[in-house]
Chain A
Amino acid sequence: MAKTVKLLSENFGKIRPDSLEDYLNAGGFEALKKAFTMKPLDIIEEVKKSKLMGRGGAGYPTGSKWEQLYRIEKFPKYIVCNADEGEPGTFKDKLILNYDPMKLIEGMIIAGYVFNSNHGYIYIRGEYPDSQNIMQTAADVLEKTGYLGENILGSDFSFHLHVRTGAGAYVCGENSTLLNSLEGKAGRPRKKPPHLAEVGLFELPTLVNNVESLANIPYIVLNGGDKYASFGTEASGGTKLVCLSGNVVNRGVYEVRFGTTLREIIYELGGGVPNGRKLKLVQIGGSSGPCFDETLLDTPLCYDATWKNGITVGSGALLVVDDSNCVVDFVKCITEFFVHESCGKCTLCREGNKQLLKIINKFTEGTASEKDFDAIRRISDAMTNGAFCGLGETASRALTTCLEYFKDEFEEHINGKCRAGVCSFEKGGE
């Protein structure tokens, strides 16, 4: 497994998540101690040097985000960890939460120290009850031992951690929605601007970072941003937890250097497609991510190379789909997911997803016509260009990218043919 590295995942399985002793033996809280000797701006400088990009999916440079919040002279500020990991096919934050919760907390405390923020919230998705318990236990242990709470490690800095849980809405992974949910409101996005750095949780300046982003902070502080960046490529610093799922032999989470190609991840780490089937498509970044065929497999996993090829790193999910699957049926599943998860607030997402599903159903039922391509284009363009939040913006991405690569299969469905033999054409077809 030479392709994997152990930087963030170093402690996975080696330490007990509720054991401070184990964590300290593994070098835990050394970064925090070092951070307390540094100036906040110097820490931000290291984060900028690390070329750490937001690991939740949007890939916004973490250092810039920190710098923007730092410049805002309004207090109190809040640190919020987005642990809503709702993107289908993404299960990497769960490993951090379950196997190395104290590292995440250490990252949050350092963030708190940087922004002179005394309260951090971690918002864990409703479907992760185990992770919620583990995080709460870890927080309780650290509270008792002086790593959380008042005057941490005898310093004059205090930081309180609040573990909160979601209730199962995908959209709550969107940062502004998450804050609404934290405040006890319905999970629906806010209009930005104002940005969350200015008007965030309880209308106060707030940092919202993904679990993986925050868990990388201790390493960056301890070893320097340059060191962290050196694991990756010119544009993408460090390592990435990749979630490999679907039709691959070895499914799971792998920590890889940025720059590793998708082919290496799928074939060398994942062991390729099982049962002698052929790889049909890969979806990257979760259900909101784009799909592509084998022609892009040599793309290195890093932000600039993927963007250049019209795809994205996203959350780090790689879903492999073999040729026993029907591409229309595949996008139908994804669209059903978005119909279910749209919060309903904005017209384009609420009505658009509903109509897209109706059209896709026409393809699987054998009643579609050429005109339907036009309707798909109109709706997906409008959603991508004009939906309220990222959910509506990206909901049709699987559909439109599949149409780019596999339009012939959609056309076959107009003629009542499903090459994978999945669609039953209940209402028409041959």
Chain B
Amino acid sequence: MKMVNLKIDNVNVSVPAGTSILDAAKEAGIKIPTLCYHPDMPFTASCRLCLVQIKGKRKLQPSCATPVKENMEVITNNPMIREARKTALELLLANHPMECPVCIKNNKCELQRLAQELNITDITFEKCSDMLPIDDQNPAIVREPNKCVKCGRCVEVCHEVQTVGAINTAYRSGEYNVCTAFQKPLAESECVFCGQCVNVCPVGAIYEKDDTQKVWDALNDPDKFVIVQTAPAIRASLGEEFGMDPGSLVTGQMVTALRNLGFDRVFDTDFTADLTIIEEGNELLERLENNGVLPMITSCSPGWINFIEKFYPELLQHLSSCKSPQQMFGALAKTYYAQKENISPEKMFVVSVMPCTAKKYEAARPEMNSSGYRDVDVVLTTRELGRMLKEAGINLAILEPGKFDEPLGISTGAGAIFGTSGGVMEAALRTVYEVVTGKELENIDFTDVRGLEGIKEAEVDIDGTKIKIAVANSLKNARELLEMVKSGKGDYKFIEVMCCPGGCIGGGGQPYGTNNETKQKRMQAIYKEDKNMKIRKSHKNPAVCELYEDFLGKPLGYKSHKLLHTYYTPKK
């Protein structure tokens, strides 16, 4: 690797060629303020907060977007630089609604933090807030454009990472803003509600629709039997809401916290993740045996479902007909569990805690009511659960670990790894191998499909039959695989797609500050959870076996089809 030597504030620094001045300064222990910059995305260099002076250059340069050069001399702090940065920030603040104490982003806002770091105590410029309408016409995401600082991160992630392009910058000068085509509500746009824009927004301009009050109301209603299910990925991230390090595994504390909040039962989506493996695994085998449509593609990621319905409706028959674990859970809670416990499904209220904004949209799909009631009543994101716990004065970090209720809280390591890219594939392979061969799988760690890489491929030998599989995370990579499927390339039999980069650990409902580094740590936590489990194969989950014996009968049976499977609708 070619190294470049330069001086930053008179400190000698040596960094690989291509490094930005911003990153080089980090190496030298110098922190340069940034707003539009995001470590995992291309720069826009629009905020002008990271300006630095380069010897020989007349103008200040954005350090995020300027690569280092040999013998470059950089100054990051002098009156001219400080003035330019402070002026840029003050100008942004003059255009900002300043509703900080009542903003969803209060205390987590990058603009707020910068105002503190740059020692802004007064805004000398005249206030000139925008007067654009709020868009909350969908179940998942709220856009509040008046708070937008025009950093462009949401646009970058929507276009470059997800290739959805629902939002873009439009107009010019003071009217320049981020909007959908023709200013339509998100619901009428290409938006798949993945919430990656929410994750990267530095301020409170785009956020999850807050459903916490609905949950408080249910918890407060003596007639309601309130059940909660927790997604595999949230136990590896919820701790961050309480100042714990990324990758802190808080499964037990989370259970106690939910119980303390007042939920009647604390169950686990990992249970239906195991169930998904049985149904989906059998569906794959059936397709393989009966010349069905191949490759079969997973269907647990609701942003992904929205994407394929909108962008590749011609490939819908490749999707597994399995509902997502969240929806399977809801359907079973209000049928199987309701019968078992003799609770009227009418009174049952199912809350799920998900790392995801698209799950809110999924739960609201009209077809998701196979129990006769809404399968899932309310979906909270990881962030919303964090807010509820704080509101209730519950400090997750100091709680004694608790245990999930039975039977819908019993799960295996295979269910746990659903939370990360490659997990569904790995869980499926653990089961499919044993179901097909009748032999015990010796090495159950399919490391080829693990990691943050966008597209992962592997070939699996199932008793002499080799099948090719692929795993994609982020919609850009999903698109790439779909194009291969369309053109007959790849010859895959089974594909896992997760909408968000890294899978659910990087979901649009996860704690703010999600980046590749935090995702990596959350991923490690998920695999640690898997390793910790006594049972690590879905078909060995005793509660799942009991469910088939007592209620469902057999995989892909009548009841399964009624409760656990769904259909898709072209939405182009």
Residues of A at the B interface (CB closer than 8 Å) are 169, 171, 186-188, 191, 193, 339-348, 350-355, 358, 371, 374-375, 378-379, 381-382, 384-388, 393
B518 CB → nearest A CB, Å: 27
B522 to chain A, nearest CB (A): 32
Cβ contacts B191-235/A at 8 Å (1 or 0 each): 000000000000000000000000000000000000000000000
Q: Are A352 and B91 in contact (CB under 8 A)?
A: yes
Size category, B interface: 35 or more
- B87 in contact with A382 (CB, 8 Å): yes
Summed over the interface, the residue pairs from A and B with CB atoms below 8 Å come to a total of 117
Measured between C-beta atoms, what is the minimum distance from B122 to chain A in Å?
A: 12
Closest to B93 in A: A351
Contact B46 A382 (CB under 8 A): no
Inside 8 A of B88's CB, which chain A residues have their CB? 347-348, 382, 386
B456 at the interface (CB under 8 A from A): no
Give Cα A186–Cα B94 distance, bound, in whole angstroms: 26
Asked if B351 is at the interface (CB within 8 A of a chain A CB), the reply is no
Binds A, one of B58-66, B375-383, B436-444, B496-504: B58-66
A350 to B173, CA, bound (A): 5
* B499 shortest CB reach to chain A, Å: 27
Beyond A374-B124, A378-B124, 12 extra complex contacts between A and B, CB < 8 Å: A186-B170, A187-B172, A193-B66, A344-B169, A344-B175, A345-B44, A348-B48, A351-B92, A354-B95, A355-B125, A371-B124, A381-B84
**Measured CA separation A382–B175 after assembly (Å):** 21
Contacts of A341 in B (CB 8 A): 172-173
* B67 cross-chain contacts in A, Cβ below 8 A: 193
A144 to B172, CA, bound (A): 41
Q: Check: B297 CB closer than 8 A to any chain A CB.
A: no
Q: For the complex, what is the distance from the CA of A375 to the CA of B83, rounded to whole Å?
A: 12
Given the known interface contacts A358-B128, A385-B60, A386-B48, the answer about A348 and B87 at a Cβ–Cβ threshold of 8 Å is yes
Is the pair A354, B174 in contact by a Cβ cutoff of 8 Å? yes
- Residues in B whose Cβ lies below 8 Å from that of A375: 124-125
Closest A residue to B47 using CB positions: A347
Measured between beta carbons, the chain A residues less than 8 angstroms from B66 are 193
Residues of B within 8 A of A191 (CB): 43, 45, 62, 65
Q: Across the interface, do B94 and A355 meet the contact criterion of CB distance under 8 Å?
A: yes
Given A352-B91, A358-B128, A393-B59, is A343 in contact with B173 using a C-beta cutoff of 8 Å? yes
Cα distance A188–B46 in the bound complex, in angstroms = 11
Q: Which residues of A contact B124 (CB under 8 A)?
A: 371, 374-375, 378
A339 / chain B contacts, CB cutoff of 8 Å: 173-174
In the complex, what distance in Å separates the CA atom of A387 from the CA atom of B46? Answer: 9
B:48-72 near A, CB below 8 Å: 48-49, 51, 59-60, 62, 65-67
| Docked complex: B131-180 residues within 8 A CB-CB of A | 149-150, 152, 169-177
B-side contacts of A381, CB under 8 Å: 80, 83-84, 87
Minimum C-beta distance from A278 to chain B (A) = 35
Q: Are A382 and B83 in contact, with the CB atoms below 8 A?
A: yes
For the complex formed, measure the closest distance between the CB of B123 and the CB atoms of chain A, giving whole angstroms. Answer: 11
**How far is it, in angstroms, between the C-alpha of A371 and the C-alpha of B126 when the chains are bound?**
13
Q: What's the minimum C-beta distance from A374 to chain B, rounded to whole angstroms?
A: 8
Pick the contact of A386: B44, B60, B172, B177 (CB < 8 A): B60
| Residues of chain B contacted by A169 (CB below 8 angstroms) | 172
Given contacts A382-B83, A382-B88, A344 and B125 within 8 Å (CB-CB): no
Q: How near does chain B come to A229, taking the closest CB pair, in angstroms?
A: 27
10 contacts between A and B (CB under 8 A): A191-B45, A191-B65, A344-B172, A347-B47, A352-B87, A354-B174, A355-B125, A379-B91, A382-B91, A386-B51
Shortest Cβ-Cβ A-B pairs, 7 listed: A344-B176, A351-B91, A382-B87, A342-B173, A386-B84, A382-B84, A386-B60
Assembly CA distance A355 to B92 (angstroms)? 11
In the bound complex, how far is the Cα of B46 from the Cα of A371, in angstroms?
28
Contact A344 B174 (CB under 8 A): yes
In the complex formed, the residue of A with least CB distance to B176 is A344
Q: Which residues does chain A contribute within 8 Å of B49, judged by CB atoms? A: 347
Q: In the docked arrangement, what's the CA distance between A193 and B124, Å?
A: 34
Alpha-carbon separation in the docked complex, A187 to B173 (Å): 12
Task: Tell whether, in the assembled complex, residue B46 and residue A340 are in contact, meaning their CB atoms are under 8 Å apart.
Answer: no
**B87, B94, B95, B124 interface centre (most CB from chain A within 10 Å):** B87
